Structure 1
Amino acid sequence: MSTELPKTFDPAEIEARWYDHWETKGLFRPERPDATPYTIVNPPPNVTGSLHIGHALDNTLQDIVIRYERLRGKDALWVVGTDHAGIATQMVVERQMEERQDKRTNYSREEFVEKVWEWKEESGGTITRQLRRLGCSMDWSREQFTMDEHFTKAVLKVFVDLYEDGLIYRDKRLVNWDPKLKTAISDLEVEQQTIPGSFWHFKYPLADGVTLDNGQDYIEVATTRPETMLADMAVAVHPSDERYASVVGKHVILPITGRRIPIVADEHADPELGSGAVKITPGHDFNDFEVGKRAGIAPADMLNMLDAEANVCQTADGLVPEEYLGLHRFKRDGVDGARELVVQRLKEQGYLIPHIAKTKKGEEQELDAEPRSIATPFGDRGGVVIEPWLTDQWYVNAEELAKGPIAAVKSGEIEIVPKTWEKTFFNWMENIQPWCVSRQLWWGHRIPAWYDDNGNVFVAMTEEEAQAEAGEGVTLARDEDVLDTWFSSALWPFATLGWPENTDLLEKHYPNDLLISGFDILFFWDARMMMQGMKMTGQIPWPRLYLHGLVRAADGAKMSKSKGNVVDPLGLIDQYGADALRFFMAAMESQGRDIKMDEKRVEGYRNFATKLWNATRFCQSNGIGASETLAAPEAKLAVNQWIIGEVAQTVEELDKALADLRFDAAANAIYHFTWDRFCDWYLELIKPVFQGDADSAAAAETRAVAGWALDQILVMLHPFMPFITEELWQAQGDRANYPLITAKWPEPDASVDAHAVAAIDWVIDLTTATRSAKNELGIPPGAKLAAFCPAPSDLAKSTVERSAAAIERLARLTPVTLGEAPDGPAMQVTAGEDVFIVPLEGVIDIDAEKTRLTKALEASQKEVKSLDGRLSNPNFVERAKPEAVEKARADQAHHAAEVERLTAALARLG
């Protein structure tokens, strides 16, 4: 028995009810011990996070895949959890402390970590609740957290194993140091921003009375960071630069510090840039670090002039004057910093070479420095300028770990979709640098390393094991640092399944089947999962990696809070329902291309849901209920044979699209079948059956086929729109023990009469063509017109004979004569290979209509010509705003289509 549906579709009312039902009943992972496994893992969102539009896209695509595989009978497992997000979480808790006039350092490390755990229990579930609102069918019964006890055990084991294999080591190198957070951060967490800056030129006096060939007793160097000269250790010139060939190996005496430093030959110096000589500060610049090593300066001997907060400290040689000590690197709160003082002193001492600039009037003026826009690194969380800082950190030999993933992608063992991302992947992996995995935080996985008083290190799973290794009576102190969050999340595909224990879950569900990820974390996370997975388990983590694009603002701009163009997915769900937002995401996702946010499209998919709702109500009003068969019912009527064939074709299209991870093609297939073929045509075509004898065999057959076809729609649409489909599925019949979420994917298993299918397609073609022609000529849609087919095909003869009533009702053509048409003005319409002549004498004013169409045609032709000229002008295309160029292209396409349409309409009038 079906349940009568309300007149209006209300997404909010059904979404919470169905999600609670699915989760409570354990339907996200039903017991299927003997079924083929299918496994995906979610990119674990930060425990501090809330759902943004990128999450909505990423998780919608994953849910489509997992619901599809569940419907296909797989033991479908979607692993869900959150990341402890070291920096982000510590920042949140410290900010809350600041609001209470409290701070982290008022507590011991253990007390602070306890406070973070308290925050996590109280406030850390925001994003998981929001994922439920989106409809994500994750296995919440096994929700994971990267700081869970079993996960922590896995993290420590990986660290220890890599250390014992020589793949983790401690080294003194430059890192990206965030002076606000006082921790090292990854290259991938550094944002380059272009800000106003200056380019200063200084004299570095040559030592020992040496001069250049031109008699100059100094070398000119230029820099955007004058404060770092306090730690300069060399001046570099290009080996082929003849201007400096005579002084390579000689020395300069640094102003301010008086440090004697060598002049070295290195290809890093560009003879065409500035003076061709560059100052080398290996302790505070990544390029200079490499130059310094090539010049024979050991990292341990490189000078550091800043402390953890970017204040000037004394260098190892003690040559920084006292007046600089304690100064911040930059001007801050109105107080000059080291930069300002260095420039001031060099100017006073005559070492500043002024920049000569011209005013708007053409007059020369002298400036301390040349104004420039400078690309500057900022921390994405701390928000301050990142300082390259020389410090001891833990590193992973990423170059060695990258070899397996590179080979796997090259051999096809791991497929990256779309394939265009492979080049980027190889470029990064083949030039990969050591991975700094230590962070100077309190929240996170503490590095399992202990030191004795002599600095010897002991790496072990526990302090007891480290002590046993060090020996009795040796005092040990544990490393203060924690591991980079990405180190632990790299273990997600296997540690979430119980590794390092050999669990049944691990045995069955690893490797996973697919990873869906934004391209922006290809190196943060995806590549590192390949490295750790292959190293730790000997197997790839998954055979396919799908990289989707970003969701951008409607104008194509990247969303950002500062621009005010961020779209809240929860707001869209409130307004249009989760199903509409999900369908938008799927329909717009085209193999990695960025998606432009379009709220009108979301609204359109809400209308699509309403259309399906109303179609189901129509079915109910005609006694059409749930189907009792997976295979198609037996059908004799042409219209029923036709819809069965359409279902079979749509299932085939969907299976192919989802196998190819073409989410847009899959959404397009089910959308057009549901809206166009089922709702607009099939339901219209079967109305006469129910207007006759409701108890006839034809009516019974049609009820069975229509109920079956609607069920197939609900199953096929379910991965995209789970809420409305489950509601309609249950409303169509009493199926409490057979919910849609665990129903079976369609298997039509039907033979279809090709002639019957062709006949219905023919009627649809004729109707569509006639409606279009009427619209072009301004004829009312309901006007009934006579039609003549001078040379009918066999299909036309049989269809007109059997379906004259349908042709009259749908195409509004009556009578239809298979023979010659009378002379006079007429329009032509086609169906398949058949041409119909439709007389227009007395229907419209032919001359007036020709005049109207000609005038409109000329206007569109004029617009096309004008727009073609504008778009072929490089000045316009290259210099105009992108949105203006895009609008011009859209207008050109519109008017070109109008020219084609109006030309065809005039041709119809003869």
Structure 2
Amino acid sequence: TKQSLIELLENSQHFKKLYDERYQLILKCEKCGSENLHQEEDVLDTWFSSALWPFGTLGWPEKTQDLDTFYPTSLLITGFDIIFFWVARMIMMGTKFTDNVPFEDVYIHALVRDEKGEKMSKTKGNVIDPLEMAEKYGADALRFTLTALAAQGRDIRLSEKRIEGYKHFSNKIWNASKFVLTNSQNVDIKPVESLNLSLEDKWILTAFEKALEKSSNDLENYRYNDYANTIYDFFWHDYCDWYIELTKERIYKGSQEEKETALSVLNYILRESLKLLHPIMPFITEEIYQYLPIKETEFLAVAPYPEFRQDFVFEKEYRFVEDLKEMIVSIRTVRSDFNIEPTRKLNVRLKPSSKEIEENLKKLANQIKLLIKAEDLTIDPQAAKKDTEVVTVSKLGESFIDLAGILDIQKEIQRQEKLLQEVEKSIKISEGKLSNENFVNKAPPNVVEKEKQLYEELKQKREKILSILSMLKNY
């Protein structure tokens, strides 16, 4: 029995001798060989000295200038696993020896996990080496990825695909800067305050101030992911996708004054955007900054951070261009919905809803024509729908897109009805999964969530197809 085996081993001198030889640690004095040793009692655990760090590094217990200048600090950044070991003890020691807490705020950063939310380990083979990622995609892309995913209260689910995605953002910054700087050669770049600004100039200045105000508030409140995403959305979408495209007409075909104004604003927004991006992406932003025609300091790292400027906020012009974007997107959507090739030019008529809107549309007629890829663009407040046209409605008015000779209506109806059948079949499959208790309760949470998202996307797609079919049948 187990008990008899234990008794046998306990009474075995051979076993005891073997055990002592192999496992018993016998401590002896190195000099005299004595085993009569006494353990040191004047010992503190390692966190005790760490608890003194906020003021111990500044010369305490002496009254030094560093201590007066830098203590207490404003923020401690740490992980949740050492809140008691380190954070609490720093607060206790700071209160005891300096009568002041060592910091006002504690930011508990996220843990980095794999894309499925599992802890990284070599055994699982899901470790992402940051040095390898930096070598492959650039340190800036890696830094931006981690910042963009660092939502408060949530761990970071990191995957190589995400890092690769933000590598594209680095490329976007580089290519946009190259476009601006190449076209700025031999052009007199002037301060924005001295320029005769256009509608789109006032719009981008206002958009930047809004992005600056929001990102600064996010930064002050430690919402680093919101800070990163606000800058990302502004630079990629507002600056690159819209403003650069809107300025091309003036750069390539405008007067000298129009060209100088467009490029001066482009350079100003680029410089200020580099400042916002620099804390996250220091390498690419510093490199580009060195080529700017107007720099405030020798190095971007020591340039003043942008401050909100109320004089660069033009709400009326901002609202108009935002509504214009909606109108342009609605026309582009028609092209996409009806599968019209991107190279095919359209004939479009715009019916503005007011005289002021009509005048503004006429000011930007060439830019609009370029952005919607129109062969002919007419702005007519008296326009009425023709039989060969489809209509889109936006805040600025109605858009009539002529499909004569472009679209075979009956074939398009058949194509859309076929798409509808496929979508409805997929919806039934998804509904079957989500109504199955075994799937909902036993499948991994991320798989169930993904299926729910797919189901919602399919329903939206069905509504979109039904809307298109209704439009075609009323054509």
The bucket for the TM-score relative to the shorter chain is 0.7 to 0.9
Deviation at 1:556, TM superposition (A): 1.8
- Taking a change above 3 Å as real, the CA distance of residues 498 and 683 of structure 1, as seen in their structure-2 partners, is same
Tell me, in whole angstroms, the C-alpha distance in 1 between the residues paired with 2:346 and 2:153.
49
Report the equivalent of 1:98. none
Structure 1 residue aligned with 2:404, among 841, 859, 862?
A: 841
Within 5 Å, which residues of 2 pair with 1:577-726? 577-623=138-184, 634-692=195-253, 696-726=256-286
Aligned partners of 1:627 and 1:708 also within 8 Å = no
* Maintained 8 Å contact 1:657/1:663: yes
Query: How far did 1:585 drift?
Result: 0.6
Is the contact made by 1:626 and 1:733 (CA closer than 8 Å) also made in structure 2?
no
CA positional deviation for 1:481:
7.7
1:505 aligns with 2:60: no
The structure with the largest strand share of the pair is 1
State the alpha-carbon separation in 2 of the partners of residues 481 and 201 from structure 1: 44
Q: 391, 394, 407: which is aligned to 1:831? A: 394
Match of 1:868 among 431, 435, 442: 431
Distance in 2 separating the partners of 1:586 and 1:571: 18
Identical-residue share of aligned pairs (%): 35
Match of 1:536 among 67, 78, 97: 97
Match for residue 746 of structure 1 among 306, 311, 319: 306
Q: CA deviation at 1:745?
A: 1.2
1:852 match:
415
Amino acid corresponding to residue 832 of structure 1 in structure 2: K
Q: Distance in 2 between matches of 1:653 and 1:700?
A: 30
CA distance in 2 between partners of 1:844 and 1:883 (Å): 42
Identify if the C-alpha distance between structure 1 residues 744 and 737 changes in structure 2 by more than 3 Å, giving closer, same or farther.
closer
Do residues 564 (structure 1) and 92 (structure 2) align? no
* 1:586/1:667 contact within 8 Å kept: yes
Amino acid of the structure 2 residue aligned with 1:556: G
The 3 A distance-change label for structure 1 pair 869 and 693 is closer
**Aligned equivalents of 2:211, 2:332: Cα separation in 1:** 26
Rounded to whole Å, the distance in 2 between the matches of 1:787 and 1:736 is 46
- CA 1:893–1:801: 2 relative to 1, 3 Å: same
Give the CA RMSD over aligned residues. Answer: 3.3
Partner residue, 2:87:
526
Q: What is the SS of the residue equivalent to 2:290? A: helix
- What is the identity, as a one-letter code, of the residue corresponding to 2:377? P
1:671 Cα deviation after fit: 0.5
Query: Displacement of 1:583 after TM fit?
Result: 0.4
- Alpha-carbon distance between aligned partners in 2 of 1:483 and 1:627, rounded to the nearest angstrom: 64
Q: Which amino acid aligns with 1:891?
A: L
Q: Tell whether the 8 Å contact from 1:644 to 1:752 is kept in structure 2 after alignment.
A: yes
- Corresponding residue for residue 341 of structure 2: 780
Q: Given the superposition, is the C-alpha separation of residues 702 and 478 from structure 1 closer, same or farther in structure 2, using an over 3 Å criterion?
A: same
What is the alpha-carbon distance in structure 2 between the residues aligned to residue 669 and residue 626 of structure 1?
Answer: 31
- Structure-2 residue corresponding to 1:815: 377
- SS of the residue corresponding to residue 364 of structure 2 reads helix
Match of 1:386 in 2: none
Say whether residues 1:732 and 2:292 are aligned partners: yes
> Over residues 260-300 of structure 1, what are the superposed CA-to-partner deviations in whole Å (9 max), with x where a residue is unaligned?
xxxxxxxxxxxxxxxxxxxxxxxxxxxxxxxxxxxxxxxxx
Q: Contact (CA 8 Å) 2:323, 2:396: kept in 1 or not?
A: no
Q: 2:31 maps to what in 1?
A: none
Q: Give yes or no for contact 1:644–1:748 (8 Å, CA) kept in 2.
A: no
Residues 309-359 of structure 1, C-alpha deviation per residue, up to 9 Å, x if partnerless?
xxx9xxxxxxx7565746769xxx9xxx9xxxxxxxxxxxxxxxxxxxxxx
Q: TM-score, normalised by structure 1?
A: 0.47
More helix by percentage: 2
Checking the alignment, whether the CA contact within 8 Å between 2:189 and 2:263 is kept in structure 1 is no
Q: Distance in 2 between matches of 1:671 and 1:527?
A: 37
The Cα shift of 1:704 comes to 2.0
Residue 803 and residue 479 in structure 1: after superposition, are their counterparts in 2 closer, same or farther (change >3 A)? same
Shift of 1:808: 0.8
- Matching residue of 1:489: 50
1:15-39: CA deviations, max 9, x gaps?
xxxxxxxxxxxxxxxxxxxxxxxxx
In structure 1, the partner of 2:30 is none
Structure 2 residue ranges without an equivalent (≥5): 28-35
- Asked if the contact 2:77–2:107 (Cα under 8 Å) also holds between the matched residues in 1, the reply is yes
CA distance in 1, matches of 2:450, 2:298: 50
Task: Tell whether 2:83 aligns with 1:517.
Answer: no
2:108 and 2:40 mapped to 1: Cα distance? 37
Q: Structure 1, residues 37-89: CA drift from partner, whole Å, max 9, x if none?
A: xxxxxxxxxxxxxxxxxxxxxxxxxxxxxxxxxxxxxxxxxxxxxxxxxxxxx
Deviation at 1:513, TM superposition (A): 0.8
Sort the Cα spacing of 1:739 and 1:729 in 2 relative to 1 into closer, same or farther, 3 A: same
Distance 1:773 1:795, change over 3 A: farther
Instruction: Indicate how the Cα distance of structure 1 residues 486 and 778 shifts in structure 2: closer, same or farther if over 3 A, else same.
Output: same
For 1:588, give the aligned amino acid.
L
State how 1:371-386 maps to structure 2 within 5 Å. none
Distance 1:899 1:741, change over 3 A: same
Length, aligned pairs only: 457
Counterpart residue number, 1:391: none
- The letter for the 1-side match of 2:289 is W
CA distance in 2: counterparts of 1:553 and 1:614, whole angstroms: 31
- Structure 1 residue runs without a partner (length 5+): 1-199, 204-225, 228-255, 258-311, 313-319, 338-439, 441-454, 456-475
SS of the residue corresponding to residue 731 of structure 1 reads: coil
Quote the Cα distance in structure 2 between the aligned partners of 1:735 and 1:806.
Answer: 30
Deviation (angstroms), 1:635: 4.0
CA distance in 2, matches of 1:599, 1:642: 36
Q: 1:481 to 1:561 in 2, by over 3 A?
A: farther
1:706 CA displacement: 1.6
Whole-angstrom distance in 1 between the partners of 2:194 and 2:219: 26
Q: Aligned partners of 2:450, 2:157: CA distance in 1, in Å? A: 15
**Structure 1 pair 601–905 and aligned structure 2 pair: CA distance change class (3 A):** farther
User: Per the alignment, in what secondary structure is the counterpart of residue 689 of structure 1?
Assistant: helix
Larger Rg: 1
AA at the equivalent of 2:108:
L
- Structure 1 residue 722: Cα displacement: 0.7
Residue deviations 1:699-726, cap 9 Å, x none? 2222222211111111111111111111
- Distance in 2 of aligned mates of 1:545 and 1:621: 45
1:822 to 1:878, Cα distance in 2 relative to 1, 3 A? closer
Report if aligned partners of 2:389, 2:402 keep a CA contact under 8 Å in 1.
yes
The residue identity in structure 2 corresponding to 1:497 is L
Residue in 2 that maps onto 1:426: none
Q: CA deviation at 1:774?
A: 1.0
- Could you report, residue by residue, the CA deviation over 1:741-780 in whole angstroms, capped at 9, with x for unpaired residues? 0101113532444333233223322222222221121012
Give the Cα–Cα distance (whole angstroms) in 1 for the partners of residues 211 and 61 of structure 2. 44
Distance 2:272 2:344 in 1: 36
Could you tell me how far apart the structure 2 residues matched to 1:791 and 1:487 are? 72
- CA shift in 2, pair 1:482/1:889, >3 Å: farther
Aligned to 1:213: none
How far the C-alpha of 1:649 sits from its partner, in A, is 0.8
Identify the residue that residue 461 of structure 2 maps to in structure 1. Answer: 898
Alignment-derived partner of residue 32 in structure 2: none
Contact 2:331 2:401 in 1 (8 A): no
- Mapping of residues 200-599 of structure 1, within 5 Å: 321=11, 323=13, 325=16, 479=40, 483-599=44-160
The AA in structure 2 aligned to 1:744 is P
